[in-house]
Amino acid sequence: MKKVSTDKAPAAIGPYSQGIIAGDFLYASGQIPINPATGEIEGEDIKAQTDLVCRNIGEILKAAGTDYEHVVKTSCFLSDMGDFADFNGVYEKYFTGKPARSCVAVKQLPKNVLCEVEIIAYLK
């Protein structure tokens, strides 16, 4: 196993890694809309927060030597299912390969953000 870490994505806010490579796969921890340069939450609405989450995921994918097209599974967490359509509108611009996915509403996310996404990707 190998840890994946980049300063172009938010540092872990707990006792975990940004990602782990095990065999031919990257398992990335859930990303929330934190600006990696400031450590602050950014985005007032679901669209802005989803965009930042997806960009952060892209940096972790890049650090692992892969990309969005190699993502095979995502797990998406929303604080409000009323945001589902707007979330999807941004999400689909990044995950064009349409990986397998689950998407659920949860009572609360870290730092009271609106969304969190974790991924599993095949290494190219």
3-class secondary structure, 17: coil
Q: How far apart are CA 10 and CA 12, in angstroms?
A: 6
Contacts from 40-43 at CB under 8 Å and sequence distance 24+? Answer: 41/111, 41/113, 43/114
Residue type, 115: C
Q: At what angle do helices 46-63 and 84-94 cross, to 10 degrees?
A: 30
SS3 content of the chain, % helix, strand, coil (to 5): 30, 30, 40
Does the annotation mark 54 as catalytic? no
Please pick, among 54, 76, 103, 115, the residue that the annotation labels catalytic.
103
Residues annotated as part of the active site: 103
